[in-house]
Amino acid sequence: AVKFSGYLEECSEPFCTSSYSKYPRLMKLGEDITLLGLEIGLLTMKKGEVARFVFTPRYAYGQMGCPPVIPPNATVMFEVEMLDFLESTESDAFFDLTALNLTYFFIQQDMVPLQKVLKVADTEREFGNRFYRKRDFRSAKDRYKKAFSVLSCTPSSEAEQQQINASKLLVLLNLSLTYLKLERPDRALAYGEKALEIDQRNAKALFRCGQACLCLTEYEKARDFLVRAQRVQPFNHDINNELKKLARCYRDSMEKEKEMCCRMFAPLNSSS
């Protein structure tokens, strides 16, 4: 993700800019960013760095320019801030494989190191995190699911299984939280319970399951999950607040049920 502004010589107003956007969109070199000089310049930058590049026509818009904004043979200047970046080459190559090649990959696992698989999954999860921070929960969910699909491979040892499980756990927790944001507590509960299959004492997984059950008005199950989470982290502010919220919701539910019963039996009492 980058912020940039492009200027013509002796012009104070940019002819293009992304600086007004609160969340600059992710852009891929060679696809979203095709200006040769800008591609080369970005490859030299580090996260958080701010730079100024001056591009001759060869590295900018060429002899023809880009009418009517860019005149022919224009030298341009770009101010660039590198907010963050992700190396997605291996991930892109992995998902470019056909279904047949994917099958072959899982059969012939020794041909692809586990560390490469984990790196692909981690890259997709990081993309999901970017979308989540921008509150684009649907795109985040899709990225997390891609990450989880990579991790369905069969380990060749207990050590590999532990590494895969550690990576799976992070993705499952992300999916559970994202489905809560999407107001799909049933799916949030399902992914939270999958996380608990890996680590039954994981406080975040227990908390997410408790939240999901509360949304589903399954109060007993919600209490069970939240109390278990509290036992793991007794001083966790969020867990304790959720237990208080559960108590209020349960009390309100009981009062509404009592009120409904009173209305139902009121005609019988009046007739007698």
Inter-residue long-range contacts of 16-24, CB under 8 Å, 24+ positions, other chains counted: 16/69, 23/133, 23/134, 24/83
Q: Mark which of 82, 114, 148 sits at the end of a domain.
A: 82
Nearest to 207 by CA among 247, 251, 240, 254: 240
Report the side by side order of strands in the sheet with 2-8.
16-17, 2-8, 76-82, 50-55
Specify the number of domains making up the chain.
3
Beta strands 2-8 and 50-55, pairing class: unpaired
Does 9 map to a domain? Answer: yes
For the chain, 272 residues long, give each residue's pLDDT as a single digit of tens. 889 999 998 899 999 998 777 777 777 777 778 899 999 999 899 989 999 999 999 999 999 999 999 999 999 999 999 988 777 777 776 766 544 455 555 544 446 688 888 998 999 999 999 999 989 999 999 999 999 988 887 788 899 999 999 999 999 999 999 999 999 999 999 999 999 999 999 999 999 999 999 999 999 999 999 999 999 999 999 999 999 999 999 898 877 776 776 666 556 555 55
CATH number at residue 161: 1.25.40.10
Parent domain of 248: 183-261
CATH number at residue 53: 3.10.50.40
Does 29 map to a domain? Answer: yes
Q: Mark which of 26, 53, 82 sits at the end of a domain.
A: 82
Using the 8-state DSSP alphabet, how is residue 24 labeled? P
User: In this structure, are residues 203 and 176 in contact, taking their beta carbons and an 8 Å threshold?
Assistant: no
- The H or E element spanning position 205 is helix 203-215
Does 266 map to a domain? Answer: no
Q: Are residues 203 and 256 in the same domain?
A: yes
